[in-house]
Amino acid sequence: MSLLIADSPHVSPSSEKKMPSLIQSTCAYCGVGCGVDIVVADGKATSLTGSADHPANYGKLCVKGSNLLNTIDLTNRLLAPEIDGKKVSWQQATNYVAEKFSDIIKEHGKDAVAFYVSGQLLTEDYYLANKLMKGYIGSGNIDTNSRLCMSSAVSAYKRAFGEDVVPCTYQDLEQTDLLLLIGSNAAWTHPVLYQRIERAKKINPLMKVVVLDPRKTATCELADNFIQLKPGSDGAFFNGLLNYLSENGGLDADYIAKNTEGFTETLAQATTWSVAKVAEYCHVSEQELTLVYQLFCQSKKAITFYSMGINQSSSGVDKCQSIINCHLASGKMAKTGCGPFSITGQPNAMGGREVGGLANQLAAHMDIDNPAHQDKVQRFWQSPTIATKQGAKAIDMFDKIASGEIKAVWIMATNPMVSLPDRDKIAAALKKCQLVVVSDCVDENDTLAFADVKLPATPWLEKNGTVTNSERRISRQRNAVLPAGQAKHDWQIIRDVAQAMGFSGFDFADVSDVFKEHAQLTHFENNGERLLDLSGLSQLTAQEYHELTPIQWPVNEQYPQGCDRVYADGQFNTASGKAQFIAVSPQLPKQRTSEQFPFVLNSGRIRDQWHTMTRTGKTSKLVAHTDKPYLYLHPSDAKTLAVVDDDMLNITASTGHAIAHVKLDDKQRAGECFMPIHWNKSFASHANVSALYQSIVDPISGQAECKQGAVALTKKSYSQYLSLHTVSDVELEVSADFWLKNTTAYGDAYQAAFDEPIVDAMLWCQQATGLSGEWLQFNQDSQSYIVCLQAGKLVALAYFSQQWPVLDVSWLEHVLSEETLEFATIQSLLLGIASNEFNQGKQVCSCFNIGEKTIVNAIAQGCTSVDKLGEQLQCGTKCGSCKPELASMISLHKASEPLAVNELGAG
Ligand SMILES: Nc1nc2c(c(=O)[nH]1)N[C@H]1C(S)=C(S)[C@@H](COP(=O)(O)OP(=O)(O)OC[C@H]3O[C@@H](n4cnc5c(=O)[nH]c(N)nc54)[C@H](O)[C@@H]3O)O[C@H]1N2
Ligand SMILES: Nc1nc2c(c(=O)[nH]1)N[C@H]1C(S)=C(S)[C@@H](COP(=O)(O)OP(=O)(O)OC[C@H]3O[C@@H](n4cnc5c(=O)[nH]c(N)nc54)[C@H](O)[C@@H]3O)O[C@H]1N2
Ligand code: SF4
Ligand SMILES: [Mo]
C-alpha cells in the first residue's frame, strides 16, 4: 500500500487508480479531532479506522467516527449550483452572487450584507470568508454557529487571560487528581476523550471525577460524585467554591500575588456564598457540596472541563469566569493536570477562533475595535478597507435581516433554521431577505428551503485543509476522493466570488497558500503580543503542508515542534501581563417557568446523531440507538399529565410548538424535561426544539440561552396511528397531521398520525407510496394491516391502529430483505405477530447490532461486568460508545430474571 496525499499539486487521487492507498485525515465530527486512516481503492474509500499515531485518539474512534463511510453516498447531495431552483453553471452562480452583493453594498452600504458561517468549515475556508468580509467588503458582519457553541468561553478566556487561549491539553485530563465535568455529557459528545478519562481512572484509582448536571447522564457512570443542580445555578456553585477555598486554606497566595489582579474584589463578592446559601440556591445538599469543595481544596491537581451546560446561558461568560477564578485562586493553573478547560464542540471551532471568524474579532487573535490592530491587519492584507467595529452577532444578524437592515446573507456549513432559537423568527427573517445564498453539501434542509442561490460545497472526504481541535492541535483533513459532480471546496467558492467582485487579494491556486498566509498573519508584527503564532508553519512548501503532522500551537522559533504547555511562566496576554479575576454575581436563566409554561426545557445531544442529521441521519446504523425525538419526562410529571411511554405530548412555548413521544426518565428532576436538538423538517413534522427557545443572549458574548426554556405540556391524541415501511419515498407533509421518518437498512420507515381516521386505508397507501403490486389487507377491530408484494417480495407494509403499532425492527429488516415471502410469513405480517426470535429490543451496541433484550438476558445469566458482556456478545468491544449504557444496564438488571418478549418495547 502506498501513502497517497490526495489533492496535492503533485499527486491526484484519480491518477493513482490501481494500488490501494492510505490517506490520513481527521474525523468530520467533534472537537476531539480524532485522526482517521482511510483506505482508498479505485478512487473510492473502502475502509476507515482510527489513526494509531494521532495524539487525540491513538487509534480509537467513537460510533459516529466509525460510521463515517456509511454517510458518504451521493443521495441528497447538492451537485450543481442553482439560482431560484434552476441549475446554472458555476460562472453564472459566482457572477450572480458577486453582482448582487456588490449592488446591495453600493446602494445600501457595506453593513447591508452578512456571512453566517460555521465551525465545520476548515481553517482555510474560514480565513478567506473572514478576509473577504472584514478586509474587502469592510464590515464586521461575519458571524458563525460557534456563537451558539463556545462564544462565552472565548469571551471569558479573553477577559481573564488577555487572549482566547485554552490552557489545557488532553494529557492533563489523564494526569489530574480531580476532574470536574460541568454541563458536559462527554460520554456521548466527546466519547474518545471520555474513554481516555475512563482508562486514566482505571490506571489511577485515586483519580476522582465529579459531574454537575441537572440530568444524570451516561457520563455519570464515571462519576464518584454527581451534583444534580438546579438548571442555570452553576455560577453560585463556583462562587461558593472560591469562598470555601479562602476559608479552608485552599488559596495559593503566592500565585495570586505574582500572576493575577482583582482578587480582593472578587473574593469579597464570593464571601456571601456560604455552603448553606449555595446549597439552597442550587437545590443540592450541603453534605454533597462540602464533599466536592473539600476534594477540590485538597487535590493537588484539578481540571474543570466545561461545555454547553455552562456556555449556552444568558450569563455564560460570568459562569466561565467563576470557574477560571477558582483555578487562579488555587494556583491550579497552567501546569500538569490543572486548569479551566473549555471543550470545543465542532471539528474546527478552534480554527474559526484563530482566523477571527466571530463578528467581534478581527483576525489572528487581533481585536476588531483596536485601531493599531486594524492598521496591522489592513497593511498585511494590503486591503482596500478594514472593518473598524464589531459586526452583528448571530442573533442580532437575523434580527437585522428581519428588519431589512441586512439585505443579503451568505450562509455556509450551518443550518440556522434548525439551530438558532426562535425558529419562526428566523423563518420570517429569511423569507424577507432580498438574497439568501447557501453553500451546503446536501440538496435539501430547513435552511436551503429559503435559498435563492444554492452553492454545492465538497463535504468531508472530498475536502482538504486543516482543522484545530480542543487542545489547540492543528491536523490535516485530507481529501480521499475527488469532488463529486460540480462541488467545489468552500475556500474556492469564496475566492471565486471575491475575484468576481473585483478584489485582488484572493489569488490562491492551492489550499496550502491560504494556510501559509494565515500562518504569516499570526506572526506579522506579533512581537510576543499574542500566543497564537504559527510562524513555524508560515514557510511550508505545498508538499510540506500536505504532509503536515498534528501539531499544537504556538509553533514558532521558541517552540518549533509546537507547544503543549502555555502560561507556565505566569505571564498572560493582558496589558499588565497578569491574569484577571473578575467578581461574578450569579444569575439564573432569563427564560422562567410560569403558570402558563410550568416546565423547564433542557436540550442537547444524543449519542449517535450529529446536529441537524444531514449526515448521521443517513445511516440506519446511527438511527437505531434513538429512533425518535423523544421528550424525556420525569415519571411523577407523567403521572400528573396522565401519559405513559410513547404517548404523545404537545409542547408549547411562547415562541412555538412541537409534538413528541414521551420517554419516562427519572434521571432528571421533576418539573424538568429534555429534548434532543437533532430532528428537523427533513425527519419529523413537529420536532424542532429550537422553536421552543426565546432568543435571549449573554450581554457580553451574545451566546443564546439554549438550555433552559419554559414550556407547557399537554397530552396529544390522534384518532389513528400508522407505522409504514416501504422501499419507496413517501411525502407525508400534507397527508398526515404528524409524521416521523427514519433511515433503515431496508428503506425508509415512517410513523404518522391522523386527527381524522383514514377512510380507505388501502387507497391511502397506494397513493402515498405510488407502488403497484399485489395489495393485501386484513382488518381486525379498528386495525388495518396492509402489505404490498411485487413478485412475492414485500415492498410496503402498513399498520393502522388506534395506538402506535409496535413492530420489531429486526423482524422488519428480515421480512423486507427476503426475496420472496412464504405464505406463513405473509399471514403473520397480516396478523401483526412477529416471531420471538426477532425481538431484541432497542439497539444498544450500534457496532455489533446488539439489542436491549439480549443484553439484559446475558446480565441475568451472570455477565455482570462490561468486559464480560463484551466477551459474550461483543457489545462495547469496538468503538466503546455504548459502554456507559452497558454499565448502567448492569446496575439496573443485575439481580433480575431474563426478560420475556413482551416486557420490552420493540424500540
Ligand atoms: N453525539 C454527538 N456529539 C457531539 C455533537 C452532536 O451533535 N452529537 N455536537 C458537538 C458539539 S458542536 C458540541 S457543542 C458538543 C456539546 O457537548 P455537550 O455540552 O456535552 O452536550 P449537550 O448535550 O449539548 O449538553 C451537555 C449537558 O449540559 C447539561 N445542562 C443543561 N443545563 C445545565 C445547567 O444549567 N448546568 C449544568 N451544569 N449542566 C446543564 C445537559 O443536561 C447536558 O447533559 O458536542 C459535540 N459532540
Ligand atoms: N436548543 C439548542 N440549540 C442549539 C444547541 C443546543 O444544545 N440546544 N447547540 C448549538 C450548537 S453548540 C451548535 S454547534 C449548533 C449546530 O447547528 P448547525 O451548525 O446548524 O448544524 P449542522 O447540522 O452541523 O449544520 C451544518 C450544515 O452544513 C452542511 N455541511 C457539512 N459539511 C459542510 C462543508 O464542508 N461545507 C459546507 N458548505 N456545508 C457543509 C451540512 O449538510 C448542514 O446542512 O446548534 C446550536 N443550537
Ligand atoms: S470522538 Fe468520535 S466524533 Fe469526535 S472526533 Fe473522535 S471519532 Fe469523531
Ligand atoms: Mo457546538
Burial per residue of 15-51, b for 16 or more beta-carbon CB atoms within 10 angstroms, e otherwise: ebeeeebbbbbbbbbbbbbbbbbbbbeeeebeebbbb
Q: Cα(149) to centroid of ligand 2, in Å?
A: 10
Q: pLDDT tens digits for 437-464? A: 999 999 999 999 999 999 999 999 999 9
Burial per residue of 311-343, b for 16 or more beta-carbon CB atoms within 10 angstroms, e otherwise: bbbbbbbbbbbbbbbbbbbbbbbbbbbbbbbbb
Q: How far is CA 77 from CA 49, 487, 614, in A?
A: 24, 9, 10
* Average of per-residue pLDDT across 37-65: 96
Residue entry with cell 436491549: 852
Residue 766: is its pLDDT beyond 90?
yes
Q: Atom 40 (ligand 1): residue with closest C-alpha?
A: 309
Residue 875: is its pLDDT beyond 80?
yes
Residue entry with cell 444496564: 889
Contact assessment for residue 847 and residue 63, using Cβ atoms and an 8 Å cutoff? yes
Residue 729: is its pLDDT beyond 90?
no
Note the pLDDT of residue 60: 96
- For the ranges 593-602, 638-647, 698-707, 880-889, the lowest mean pLDDT is seen at 880-889
33 lines ligand 3 (CB under 6 A): yes
- What is the C-alpha separation between 474 and 122, in angstroms, rounded? 11
831 class by beta-carbon count within 10 Å (0-12 exposed, 13-18 middle, 19+ buried): exposed
Domains of the chain: 13-71 (2.20.25.90), 82-149+348-552 (3.40.50.740), 151-342 (3.40.228.10), 599-716 (2.40.40.20), 720-838 (no CATH), 843-893 (1.10.10.1100)
- What is the C-alpha separation between 457 and 90, in angstroms, rounded? 12
Identify the band that residue 731 occupies on the pLDDT scale cut at 50, 70 and 90: confident
611 lines ligand 3 (CB under 6 A): no
State the DSSP code for 536: G
Residue 265 CB neighbour total at 10 angstroms: 12
Q: Ligand 1, residues 707, 708, 846, 879: which to mutate, most atoms within 8 A of Cβ? A: 707
Whether residue 635 is preceded by a cis peptide bond, meaning omega within 30 degrees of 0, is no
Query: Which set of grid coordinates corresponds to residue 623?
Result: 438511527
Q: At what angle do helices 123-131 and 490-500 cross, to 10 degrees?
A: 20
Note the pLDDT of residue 898: 52
586 lines ligand 3 (CB under 6 A): no
Closest atom of ligand 1 to CA, residue 233 = 35
Query: Which set of grid coordinates corresponds to residue 54?
Result: 494521532
Sequence-distant (6+) residues with CB within 8 A of 468 are 33, 123, 348, 350, 351, 354, 474, 475, 553
Sequence-distant (6+) residues with CB within 8 A of 378 are 135, 385, 386
Residue entry with cell 444578524: 397
Closest atom of ligand 2 to CA, residue 463 = 35
894: left (phi over 0), alpha (psi -120 to 50) or beta: alpha
Identify the band that residue 821 occupies on the pLDDT scale cut at 50, 70 and 90: confident
27 lines ligand 3 (CB under 6 A): yes
Residue entry with cell 452578512: 114
Note the pLDDT of residue 838: 66
For the chain, give the mean pLDDT.
94
Note the pLDDT of residue 894: 82
Note the pLDDT of residue 470: 98
Any idea which ligand is nearest the CA of 493?
2
Identify the band that residue 538 occupies on the pLDDT scale cut at 50, 70 and 90: very high
For the chain, the residue count is 907
What is the C-alpha radius of gyration for the chain, rounded to an integer number of angstroms? 27
Q: How far is CA 355 from CA 7, 150, 162, in A?
A: 23, 15, 17
Reduced 3-state DSSP string for 855-893: HHHHHHCCCCCHHHHHHHHCCCCCCCCCHHHHHHHHHHH
Closest atom of ligand 2 to CA, residue 445 = 44
DSSP codes, 322-370: HHHHHHHHHT--SSTT-EEEEPP-STTHHHHHHHT-STTB-STT-BTT-
Query: Which set of grid coordinates corresponds to residue 23?
Result: 490517506
Q: List beta partners, residue 675.
A: 603
Q: Atom 1 (ligand 3): residue with closest C-alpha?
A: 192
Residue 213: is its pLDDT beyond 90?
yes
* Average of per-residue pLDDT across 316-337: 98
Query: Which DSSP helix (H) or strand (E) runs through 676?
Result: strand 672-676
Q: Cα(62) to centroid of ligand 3, in Å?
A: 5
* Average of per-residue pLDDT across 725-736: 87
Q: How far is CA 288 from CA 70, 226, 227, in A?
A: 45, 8, 7
Q: Atom 8 (ligand 1): residue with closest C-alpha?
A: 610
Q: How far is CA 116 from the centre of its chain?
A: 17
What number of H helices and E strands is found in the chain?
A: 30, 35
Identify the band that residue 896 occupies on the pLDDT scale cut at 50, 70 and 90: low
Q: Cα(419) to centroid of ligand 2, in Å?
A: 7
Query: Which DSSP helix (H) or strand (E) runs through 279?
Result: helix 275-282
Any idea which ligand is nearest the CA of 622?
1
Q: How far is CA 373 from the centre of its chain?
A: 32
Contact assessment for residue 623 and residue 682, using Cβ atoms and an 8 Å cutoff? no
Contact assessment for residue 590 and residue 45, using Cβ atoms and an 8 Å cutoff? no
Note the pLDDT of residue 903: 40
Q: Cα(678) to centroid of ligand 2, in Å?
A: 9
Q: Ligand 3, residues 25, 26, 30: which to mutate, most atoms within 8 A of Cβ? A: 30
State the DSSP code for 295: H
187 lines ligand 3 (CB under 6 A): no
Note the pLDDT of residue 900: 46
Q: Cα(328) to centroid of ligand 3, in Å?
A: 31
Q: Give SS3 for 215.
A: strand
Identify the band that residue 847 occupies on the pLDDT scale cut at 50, 70 and 90: confident
Question: φ, ψ for residue 225 (rounded to 5)?
Answer: -135, 135
Question: φ, ψ for residue 192 (rounded to 5)?
Answer: -70, -35
Closest atom of ligand 3 to CA, residue 63 = 2
Q: pLDDT tens digits for 352-363? A: 999 999 999 999
Q: Atom 26 (ligand 1): residue with closest C-alpha?
A: 184
860 class by beta-carbon count within 10 Å (0-12 exposed, 13-18 middle, 19+ buried): middle
Residue 17: is its pLDDT beyond 80?
no
Q: pLDDT tens digits for 671-704? A: 999 999 999 999 999 999 999 999 999 999 999 9
Residue 15: is its pLDDT beyond 50?
no
Contact assessment for residue 675 and residue 418, using Cβ atoms and an 8 Å cutoff? no
Identify the band that residue 594 occupies on the pLDDT scale cut at 50, 70 and 90: very high
- For the ranges 44-48, 512-516, 802-806, the lowest mean pLDDT is seen at 802-806
Note the pLDDT of residue 620: 86
Residue 136: is its pLDDT beyond 70?
yes
Note the pLDDT of residue 623: 87
Contact assessment for residue 674 and residue 610, using Cβ atoms and an 8 Å cutoff? no
When comparing pLDDT for 34 and 8, which is higher? Answer: 34
345 lines ligand 3 (CB under 6 A): no
When comparing pLDDT for 835 and 456, which is higher? Answer: 456
Contact assessment for residue 689 and residue 658, using Cβ atoms and an 8 Å cutoff? yes
Residue 904: is its pLDDT beyond 70?
no
- For the ranges 156-165, 229-238, 618-627, 710-719, the lowest mean pLDDT is seen at 618-627
Note the pLDDT of residue 206: 96
Identify the band that residue 836 occupies on the pLDDT scale cut at 50, 70 and 90: low
Q: Give SS3 for 150.
A: coil
CA atoms within 13 A on the CB side of 706: 32
Identify the band that residue 902 occupies on the pLDDT scale cut at 50, 70 and 90: very low
Note the pLDDT of residue 18: 56
232 lines ligand 1 (CB under 6 A): yes
Kindly report the CA angle at 11 between 6 and 16, in degrees rounded to 5?
80
589 lines ligand 1 (CB under 6 A): no
Contact assessment for residue 832 and residue 785, using Cβ atoms and an 8 Å cutoff? yes
* Average of per-residue pLDDT across 207-218: 98
Note the pLDDT of residue 822: 85
Contact assessment for residue 704 and residue 675, using Cβ atoms and an 8 Å cutoff? no
* Average of per-residue pLDDT across 7-17: 42
Q: Cα(130) to centroid of ligand 2, in Å?
A: 19
Note the pLDDT of residue 82: 98
Residue entry with cell 410560569: 594
Q: Give SS3 for 473.
A: strand
State the DSSP code for 643: -
DSSP E strand boundaries for 420-472: 435-440, 453-456, 465-468
Query: Which set of grid coordinates corresponds to residue 101?
Result: 452583493
Note the pLDDT of residue 300: 97
Note the pLDDT of residue 744: 86
* Average of per-residue pLDDT across 179-206: 97
611 lines ligand 1 (CB under 6 A): yes
Q: For ligand 4, a single-atom ion, which residues have Cβ within 5 Å?
A: 149, 345
Burial per residue of 165-198, b for 16 or more beta-carbon CB atoms within 10 angstroms, e otherwise: bbbbbbbbbbbbbbbbbbbbbbbbbbbbbbbbbb
Q: How far is CA 819 from the centre of its chain?
A: 39
* Average of per-residue pLDDT across 153-163: 98
Among 753, 738, 751, smallest CA distance to 659 is for 738
423 lines ligand 1 (CB under 6 A): no
Q: Give SS3 for 514.
A: helix
Identify the band that residue 8 occupies on the pLDDT scale cut at 50, 70 and 90: very low
Burial per residue of 118-141, b for 16 or more beta-carbon CB atoms within 10 angstroms, e otherwise: bbbbbbbbbbbbbbbbbbbbbbbb
308 lines ligand 1 (CB under 6 A): yes
* Average of per-residue pLDDT across 322-347: 98
What percentage of the chain exceeds 70 in pLDDT? 96
Q: Cα(840) to centroid of ligand 4, in Å?
A: 34
Note the pLDDT of residue 268: 97
Residue 745: is its pLDDT beyond 90?
no
230 lines ligand 1 (CB under 6 A): no
Residue 4: is its pLDDT beyond 80?
no
* Average of per-residue pLDDT across 169-193: 98
* Average of per-residue pLDDT across 359-368: 97
- What is the C-alpha separation between 183 and 43, in angstroms, rounded? 42
Question: φ, ψ for residue 211 (rounded to 5)?
Answer: -115, 135
